Every structure is written in C-alpha cells, then in structure tokens.
C-alpha cells in the first residue's frame, strides 16, 4: 500500500528521532544529565510529533473518513477549484500536537494529482485553501463519485509528502502522505453529499466520519 506505515513512529520521523537521541546522549556523556535535559525534552516532542498509531477504519462503504487528525474549521458548500464544480467542502486544521499522517477519505482510484507552489499563511485561515502551497488528489470511488483531497502547508510547515500517483488504488483510511508541523487538509465531496461534522469539532484520521456519499 502506498505510504503504509505499520509502526508507532512514522518513517518520516526516524532520522529526526535518531538525531535528537544522539545529541542528547552526547551532551549527557560530556556534561551530565542536567545539561542534556532540554535535549531529552526535545526527544519527547519529536516522538510525539512523529507518532503514527494504527487506526480502526469504520465499516461504512459510503462513509467519508477524516484524512487528518485535528479540528474542523470549515464545513459547507464551496467550489472545488480542481474539478471546477460545486461541492461540499470540509477543512481539518492540524496543530503541532496532532498526528500528521494523512489518510484517504474514501476507497477508490487516484485519477489525477496536482501540486501548486504557494505561500505559508496560517492554515486555519480560509485563504490558506487558495494561497498556500498544496498538493491535491482526485479520487474516484468504486461507485463513481469524485472526491478531492488537498494537503495544505501551514504557517511553519515547509514540506508536504504524498506517496500516491495517478492510476494507483487507495483503500479507505489508507495512509497516503504526511505534512510536517501545523497544516491543513481540505476534502471536496459531491454537492449532494451529506456532511455530518461542524466547525470546532475534533476528528481523528481514518476513524472518524466526516459525512456520507449519497447514491
């Protein structure tokens, strides 16, 4: 599976965790625990940032699971800028304490992928959807519904990772990417989709439902 990670720590974080631990051990060996304590605290922060726990995917064939951990900052009608259609848009804001692995909201085939360079505004702001650096996947479900999932860089995020390419299949809740530090993921659903979340609500990637596709 693309970007699949069975580990408690995301593979994107192994280098960072190893470097932080090595630095703490060197300072502790040379100067003692008191001097190394800030570095051990950094190790704890890096470990929590790159954690990647397994998730239980709900058995809801027409359900749309959250692609990210975080807080809903928008849910309602909007224009899908990639498929150029009226849509239901749901935006999930991730702060630095959330899990930053991204998961597919639906099962289907990746039809297209777009990368757009951009700015690094606060990802909680509406203009982040149009102005910030972003990577979008167009996924067509087995039932023929089109869903757009957009990874958006945030104020301090400087790297979006996406492992899926056009033609590949993604299962619902399958890990497909990662964004470092605070950021955001937008999902555009068909206009007739039923949205079941509201701004302010907290969601978990792969396990909490954002809404349902309507047949």
pLDDT digits (tens, 9 = 90+) for 22-63: 888 888 889 888 898 988 888 887 777 777 878 889 888 899
**CA–CA gap between residue 7 and residue 16 (Å, rounded):** 15
Answer yes or no: 183 catalytic.
yes
Rounded mean pLDDT, 68-77? 95
Is the model's pLDDT at 6 over the cut of 60? no
The catalytic position among 66, 91, 101, 183 is 183
pLDDT above 90 covers what percent of the chain? 51
- 63-212 CATH pick, 3.20.20.80, 3.20.20.70, 2.70.70.10, 2.40.50.140: 2.70.70.10
The pair of three-digit structure tokens given for residue 212, joined into one six-digit string: 């349902």
Q: What whole-number distance in Å separates Cα of residue 215 and Cα of residue 195?
A: 14
Per-range mean pLDDT, top range of 15-19, 135-139, 156-160, 211-215: 135-139
Averaged pLDDT for residues 11-24: 80
Segment 131-142 mean pLDDT: 90
Band of residue 121 on the pLDDT scale cut at 50, 70, 90? low
Q: What is the mean pLDDT of the chain?
A: 86
147 in Cβ contact with 106 (< 8 Å): yes
Q: Are strands 175-179 and 101-103 parallel, antiparallel or unpaired?
A: antiparallel
- Other CB atoms closer than 10 Å to residue 201's CB: what's the count? 16
Break the chain into its structural domains and give their ranges.
11-49, 63-212
pLDDT band at residue 153 under the 50/70/90 scheme: confident
- pLDDT of residue 2 exceeding 80, the answer is no
Section 94-122 average pLDDT = 86
| The pLDDT of residue 178 | 87
- For the segment 84-113, the average pLDDT, to the nearest whole number, is 93
72 forms bridges with which residues in the sheet? 92
Tokens of 173: 């809740």
What is the DSSP code string of the chain? -TT---SSB-GGGHHHHHHHHHHHHHHHHHH-HHHHHHHHHHHHHHHHHTB---------TTEEE-SSSEEEEEEEEEEETTTTEEEEEEEEEE-TTS--EEE-SS-EEEEEEEEE--B---TTSTTHHHHB-EEEEEEEETTS-EEEEEEEE-SS---EEE---TT-EE-TT-EEEEE-SSEEEEEEEETT-EE---TT-EE-TTTSEEEE---
* Residue 3 pLDDT level (bands cut at 50, 70, 90): very low
| Overall average pLDDT of the 91-115 stretch | 92
- pLDDT confidence of residue 134: 87
Q: How far apart are CA 127 and CA 121, in angstroms?
A: 8
Higher pLDDT pick, 125 / 161: 161
């Amino acid at each position: 599976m693309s970007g699949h990670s069975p580990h408690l720590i995301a593979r994107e974080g192994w280098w960072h965790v190893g470097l932080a631990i090595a630095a703490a051990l060197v300072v502790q060996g040379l100067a003692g625990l008191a001097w190394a304590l800030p570095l051990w605290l950094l190790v704890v922060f890096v470990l929590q940032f790159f954690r990647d726990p397994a998730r239980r995917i709900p058995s809801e064939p027409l359900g749309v699971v959250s692609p990210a951990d975080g807080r809903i900052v928008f849910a309602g009608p909007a224009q899908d800028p990639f498929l150029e259609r009226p849509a239901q848009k749901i935006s999930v804001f991730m702060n630095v304490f959330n899990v930053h692995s991204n998961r597919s909201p639906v099962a289907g085939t990746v039809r297209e992928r777009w990368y757009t360079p951009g700015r690094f505004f606060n990802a909680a702001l509406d203009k982040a959807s149009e102005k910030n650096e972003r990577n979008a996947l167009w996924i067509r479900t087995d039932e023929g519904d089109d869903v757009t999932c957009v990874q958006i860089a945030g104020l301090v995020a400087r790297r979006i990772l996406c492992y899926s390419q056009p033609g590949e299949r993604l299962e619902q809740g399958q890990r497909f990417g990662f964004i470092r530090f605070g950021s955001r993921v937008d999902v555009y659903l068909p206009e007739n989709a039923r949205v079941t979340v509201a701004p302010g609500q907290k969601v978990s990637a792969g396990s909490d439902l954002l809404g349902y596709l309507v047949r």
